[in-house]
């Protein structure tokens, strides 16, 4: 509940439709680390599910009725869950700042009397676990605050993966690094995708230096080794590719073209990653 209060306060939740997002999971794990000093594990799936027992929180699956059986696996729950939502009267109440602050105080006083002071102090510093992760993924100087209870688990991989998908287009100004295409819809979504250079399953590296922003067709071409990038950040197109050069969408038009790099050298993709891709994936 404290996590949901916080996301409403920060403007992440504006509708009564709570989806599982990197911000939601990371904020829960941060709050758990600050407030819980027992041996309990920071399992996000438990409170999300069992809060239904209190009669004001509900879960809607992507297909079918509400979830009636607890699902231990985070990935399975995320695959099945559409969203969670409050009863209408409670959601209306939570959007009232005075009421929300009062409910927050009641929860802290009732359940976290011994740790609420430190929790409040850290929250007032403006540092957060999400900012710490972003600094790490952006290859920038890391901020000093990291909750000691946070570990690399299924939920954290979800958080880091979600941030990677969001940060890569951002550092490339939502522009494809090869085609220079930039299309942003009225809802803020972009056609540009975050592409790992070395797959996360192989490298375990989800920093922006192991990624580039590509439009969907070039993302697929890169993953299949039809195109790559050399040590001079120039695009290389496979000579074995059967490509219609008369087509506006042909790949050979990009051969030898310099990659559009992100702003700030700290965000540049690592040459070593492209070397791996050229050696292992590229169809030369």
Question: Tell me: the pLDDT tens digits for 35-66?
Answer: 999 888 899 999 999 999 999 999 999 987 67
Is 122 found in the same domain as 184? no
Residue 13 falls inside a structural domain: yes
Residue pair 71/45 in contact by the 8 Å Cβ criterion = yes
- Does residue 8 carry a pLDDT above 50? yes
Q: How high is the pLDDT of residue 238?
A: 93
Residue 20 falls inside a structural domain: yes
Residue 146 falls inside a structural domain: no
Q: What contacts 24+ positions apart, CB below 8 Å, involve 143-147? A: 147/29, 147/30, 147/32, 147/33, 147/34
What is the radius of gyration, based on Cα positions, of the chain?
22
Residue 222 falls inside a structural domain: yes
Average pLDDT of the residues of the chain: 89
Which of 111, 126, 141 is the endpoint of a domain? 126
Q: How high is the pLDDT of residue 125?
A: 84
If phi > 0 it is left, if psi is from -120 to 50 it is alpha, else beta; for residue 139 that is left
Number of H helices, E strands in the chain: 12, 6
Confidence band of 152 (pLDDT split at 50, 70, 90):
low
Mean pLDDT score, 137-148: 58
Backbone angles phi, psi at 66, to 5 degrees: -65, 160
Residue 134 falls inside a structural domain: no
- Does residue 151 carry a pLDDT above 50? no
Q: How high is the pLDDT of residue 253?
A: 93
Residue 27 falls inside a structural domain: yes
Residue 252 falls inside a structural domain: yes
Which of 69, 91, 126 is the endpoint of a domain? 126
- Does residue 116 carry a pLDDT above 90? yes
Is 252 found in the same domain as 181? yes
Chain mean position to CA 199: 16
Task: Tell me which residue range forms the domain holding 200.
Answer: 172-280
Question: pTM for the full model?
Answer: 0.80
């Amino acid at each position: 509940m404290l996590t949901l209060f916080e996301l409403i306060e920060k403007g992440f939740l504006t509708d009564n439709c709570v989806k599982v997002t990197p911000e939601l999971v990371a904020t829960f794990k941060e709050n758990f680390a600050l407030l819980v000093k027992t041996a309990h594990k920071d399992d996000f799936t438990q409170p999300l599910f069992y809060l239904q027992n209190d009669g004001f929180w509900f879960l809607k699956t992507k297909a079918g009725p509400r979830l009636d059986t607890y699902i231990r696996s985070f990935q399975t729950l995320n695959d099945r869950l559409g969203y969670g939502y409050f009863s209408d009267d409670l959601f209306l109440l939570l959007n009232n700042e005075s009421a929300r602050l009062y409910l927050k105080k009641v929860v802290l006083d009732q359940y976290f009397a011994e740790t609420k002071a430190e929790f409040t102090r850290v929250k007032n510093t403006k540092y957060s676990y999400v900012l710490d992760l972003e600094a790490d993924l952006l290859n920038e100087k890391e901020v000093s605050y990291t909750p000691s209870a946070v570990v690399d688990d299924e939920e954290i991989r979800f958080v880091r993966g979600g941030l990677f998908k969001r940060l890569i287009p951002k550092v490339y100004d939502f522009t494809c690094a090869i085609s220079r295409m930039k299309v942003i819809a009225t809802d803020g979504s972009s056609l540009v995708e975050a592409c790992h250079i070395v797959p996360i399953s192989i490298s375990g590296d989800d920093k922006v230096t192991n990624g580039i922003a590509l439009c969907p067709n070039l993302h697929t071409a890169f993953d299949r080794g039809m195109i790559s990038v050399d040590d001079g950040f120039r695009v290389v197109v496979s000579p074995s590719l059967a490509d219609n050069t008369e087509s506006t969408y042909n790949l050979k038009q990009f051969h030898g073209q310099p990659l559009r790099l992100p702003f700030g050298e700290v965000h540049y993709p690592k040459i070593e990653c492209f070397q791996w891709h050229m050696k292992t994936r590229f169809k030369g």
